[in-house]
């Protein structure tokens, strides 16, 4: 590589760069790069788990985000204003299935989200079409049994 104070920067591999791509739907091994709780920009009070993932063994694949909504007593209500047990159960089941897929220990009261980072599992991926400001991306269609 050239001296950084020079005007022209010679960089090995610069001409071989690529734009990561969405992979076709199918079975892939995925790894959690990061997992954290975030708050929705569009729905005040709506929090979710954001698991940022990579597709293992496919260096040209675009990394993607897997979101799991967290229950909220003020937002998850039915038309009569009562807690929507079905909706809450779906949110919690999604999170529990994530824990099972990645072998993350959990109990009746929850789990440690930070354990997810670096763990991998197999999943059936889907292609999510571009919508508005969001480009086409991969997403989880289904967690697959351990191999």
Residue range 67-124, pLDDT digits in tens? 999 999 888 888 888 899 999 999 999 999 999 999 999 999 999 999 999 999 999 9
What are the residue boundaries of the structural domains of the chain, listed by start?
Answer: 17-143
The SS3 assignment for 125 reads: strand
Residues 6+ apart with CB under 8 A from 115: 104, 105
Residue range 17-143 forms a domain whose CATH class is mainly beta
Stated as kind and residue range, the H or E segment containing 27 is strand 26-39
Contact assessment for residue 139 and residue 124, using Cβ atoms and an 8 Å cutoff: no
d(CA 79, CA 18): 49
Residue 34: helix, strand or coil by DSSP? strand
Percent of the chain with pLDDT over 70: 97
Scanning the structure block, which residue is given the tokens 């675009």?
A: 62
pLDDT tens track for 66-79? 999 999 988 888 88
């Amino acid at each position: 590589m050239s001296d950084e104070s020079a005007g022209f920067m010679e960089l090995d591999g610069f001409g071989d760069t690529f734009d990561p791509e969405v992979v076709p739907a199918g079975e892939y091994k995925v790894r959690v790069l990061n997992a954290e709780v975030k708050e929705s920009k569009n729905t005040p009070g709506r929090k979710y788990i954001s698991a940022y993932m990579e597709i293992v063994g496919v260096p040209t694949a675009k990394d993607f985000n897997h979101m799991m909504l967290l229950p909220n007593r003020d937002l998850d209500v039915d038309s009569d204003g009562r807690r929507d047990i079905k909706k809450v159960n779906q949110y919690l089941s999604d999170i529990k299935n994530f824990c099972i897929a990645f072998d993350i220990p959990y109990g009746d009261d929850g789990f440690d989200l930070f354990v997810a980072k670096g763990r991998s599992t197999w999943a059936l991926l889907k292609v999510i079409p571009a919508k508005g400001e969001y480009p086409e991306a991969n997403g989880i269609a289904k967690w697959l049994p351990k191999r």
